[in-house]
Chains A and B, each alone.
Chain A
Amino acid sequence: MERVPVLKIGDILLVSIQIDMEDQVALQLQEDLAERIVATGCHGVIIDISALDIVDSFVGRTLATIAAISRVLDAETVVVGMRPAVAITLVELGLSLPGIRTALNVELGMDLLAREREDNGDDDEETNGLEGAETPAVPAP
């Protein structure tokens, strides 16, 4: 089975999906990312989907799940590079990807993450009731 590589750049994990993923590959990516977030202590994840010519409900759901998992692990996810035809199709399919941050490209995605990090400082304004939930300890980078 193919695997989507996860690259660490500074405080950010970068994933660029370059293949037409089997469902199993998407699920593997979800697991790999969760592990890498904990292992590296990264606070941002950028998923570049500019090479994808479709995003169906399965991949859409996987992206939403990745965003939710990383949030619980103190990392923000930004999905970048969605093609216009993919955006049109996704919305018509009924998937508007609520809860997912997006940016037009990797650079803007990095800006977005950097800005958020500055705005929030270290006191995360989490009001989603997850405080106290058991999350794995994040080792220092």
Chain B
Amino acid sequence: MLPVDPNKKLSFTRSICDGDLVIVYERHDNMKALKVCKDSVLQNRFGVFKHSDWIGKPFGTKVFSNKGGFIYLLAPTPELWTLVLSHRTQILYIADISLVIMYLEIVPGCLVLESGTGSGSLTTSLARAIAPTGHVYTFDFHEQRAASAREDFEKTGLSSLVTVGVRDIQGQGFPDELSGFADSVFLDLPQPWLAIPSAGKTLKPDGVLCSFSPCIEQVQRACDTLRSNFTDIRIFEVLLRTYEVREGKRDCGQADGGNLGSLPRKRRQRSSEGNSAHDNLSYPSVMARPCSEAKGHTGYLTFARLKCLS
């Protein structure tokens, strides 16, 4: 997924090979990840696709089934992975992930701790941010979940950047051998306040901690604990409002310069100089409006910085 090997970088000359991970794009809300295997086929409502037809084609290409249906084959990215991964837990999405990486000040070479691993959605983006020289240590107390995460990181080619441990961070804290090494710590735990003292020990002075909690009561308690040896405590909620854009016909019959201002925003407007000329005409227009449905809440992001005491 990541160009850890510079030769695997996306390019006009790089083509899909046997064994590559590809994202099969049917529609924006229908994608899946697949390993290309020359003897394999993909079967869906558009027909049967032979993997062997894909080999040698560039990423981003449109491929056809036996029935003439088509899909696109995309190079995997952490964003696409977040949309196709198998949900073993509730996962973090792009808005929270992006703010977490930025606010935790994660750059290549950083050592980052995470608990729990969950489905590995954030972990994949953490790995991208610390590559090629840093490392992510991620912990989950659920053995099977940790094993599935490990398999996923193997599949996405991130295993050299990520170590998955089975450990109850709320109960046992982070391993002692990591003490004082972490640049950043991310907690997604039901009782984050139990893990905060240990997170404080593993962080470098001025290192940043983030705790993700869906409920304000969790935030309240986490903040009470944080105040003893953390500073710069900031709590955010971040959401995305998306827009739908479509082409439609707009009746311009009554349109004149005077009422243009009252038309819906962002709507493409076309009129001609002579108003009388376009009476009762309709024009194809680009119409945009915010999507009616959106996520109203994901979680609160609590950030804090370890005090410099030496």
Task: Answer whether A and B are interacting partners.
Answer: no
Residues of B within 8 A of A (CB): none
